[in-house]
Amino acid sequence: MSTRSTVILGTGSYAPKQILTNEDLSKMVDTSDEWIRARSGIRERRIAAPDEATSDLAVHAARLALEDAGLPASEIDLVIVATITPDYPMPSTACVVQSKLGIKSSAACFDVNAACSGFIYALDTACAMISSGRYKKALVIGAEKLSSVVNWKDRGTCLLFGDGAGAAVVGAGHQSGTGLLGTRLGALGDDTELLFIPAGGSRTPASAKSVAAGDHFIKMKGKEVFKLAVRVMEEAARDILEQHGLSANQIGLVIPHQANLRIIDAIAQYLELPVERFFVNVDRYGNTSAASIPIALDEARRVGRIKRGDVTLLVAFGAGLTYGSALIRW
Ligand SMILES: CC(C)(COP(=O)(O)OP(=O)(O)OC[C@H]1O[C@@H](n2cnc3c(N)ncnc32)[C@H](O)[C@@H]1OP(=O)(O)O)[C@@H](O)C(=O)NCCC(=O)NCCS
pLDDT tens-place string over residues 273-297: 999 999 999 999 999 999 999 999 9
Q: Which H or E element spans position 209?
A: helix 208-212
222 Cβ closer than 6 Å to some ligand 1 atom: yes
For ligand 1, what atom is nearest to the CA of residue 116?
48
Q: Ligand 1 mean position to 224 CA, how many Å?
A: 11
Equal CATH topology for 6-176 and 180-329: yes
For ligand 1, what atom is nearest to the CA of residue 262?
39
288 Cβ closer than 6 Å to some ligand 1 atom: no
Active-site residue set: 116, 257, 287
Whole-number Å distance between alpha carbons of 179 and 328: 5
Whole-number Å distance between alpha carbons of 204 and 166: 31
State the chain's mean pLDDT as an integer: 97
Residues forming beta bridges with residue 46, ordered by sequence position? 19
225 Cβ closer than 6 Å to some ligand 1 atom: yes
Categorize the per-residue pLDDT at 146 as very low, low, confident or very high, splitting at 50, 70 and 90: very high
Cβ-proximal residues to 223 (8 Å cutoff; 6+ apart), any chain: none
- Contact between 318 and 117 under an 8 Å Cβ cutoff? The reply is yes
229 Cβ closer than 6 Å to some ligand 1 atom: yes
Q: Ligand 1 mean position to 222 CA, how many Å?
A: 6
Mean pLDDT, to the nearest integer, of 174-191? 93
Whose CA is closest to atom 46 on ligand 1?
259
Determine the pLDDT at residue 2.
Answer: 47
| pTM assigned to the model | 0.97
223 Cβ closer than 6 Å to some ligand 1 atom: yes
Strands 253-256 and 108-112: unpaired
- Domain layout of the chain by residue ranges: 6-176, 180-329
Whose CA is closest to atom 1 on ligand 1?
222
78: left (phi over 0), alpha (psi -120 to 50) or beta: beta
Whose CA is closest to atom 41 on ligand 1?
226
248 pLDDT above the threshold of 70: yes
Categorize the per-residue pLDDT at 263 as very low, low, confident or very high, splitting at 50, 70 and 90: very high
Question: Residue 290: what residue type?
Answer: A
Mean pLDDT, to the nearest integer, of 124-128? 97
Mean pLDDT, to the nearest integer, of 144-164? 98
Whole-number Å distance between alpha carbons of 302 and 120: 20
Determine the pLDDT at residue 280.
Answer: 98
- Contact between 240 and 184 under an 8 Å Cβ cutoff? The reply is yes
The CATH number of the structural domain formed by 180-329 is: 3.40.47.10
Determine the pLDDT at residue 175.
Answer: 84
Choices 3.40.50.1370, 3.40.630.30, 2.30.33.40, 3.40.47.10: CATH for 6-176: 3.40.47.10
Categorize the per-residue pLDDT at 3 as very low, low, confident or very high, splitting at 50, 70 and 90: low
- Straight-line distance from the first to the last Cα atom of the chain, in angstroms, rounded to the nearest whole number: 23
Determine the pLDDT at residue 4.
Answer: 83
Mean pLDDT, to the nearest integer, of 175-189? 93
Q: Ligand 1 mean position to 29 CA, how many Å?
A: 13
% of the chain exceeding 90 in pLDDT: 97
For ligand 1, what atom is nearest to the CA of residue 226?
41
Determine the pLDDT at residue 174.
Answer: 86
Determine the pLDDT at residue 176.
Answer: 81
Q: Ligand 1 mean position to 28 CA, how many Å?
A: 16
Whole-number Å distance between alpha carbons of 45 and 41: 11
Determine the pLDDT at residue 5.
Answer: 92
Residues forming beta bridges with residue 7, ordered by sequence position? 171
Whole-number Å distance between alpha carbons of 169 and 70: 10
Whole-number Å distance between alpha carbons of 121 and 176: 22
155 Cβ closer than 6 Å to some ligand 1 atom: yes
Render pLDDT for 64-101 as a digit per residue (tens, 0 to 9). 999 999 999 999 999 999 999 999 999 999 999 999 99
Render pLDDT for 211-224 as a digit per residue (tens, 0 to 9). 999 999 999 999 99
259 pLDDT above the threshold of 90: yes
Whose CA is closest to atom 7 on ligand 1?
39
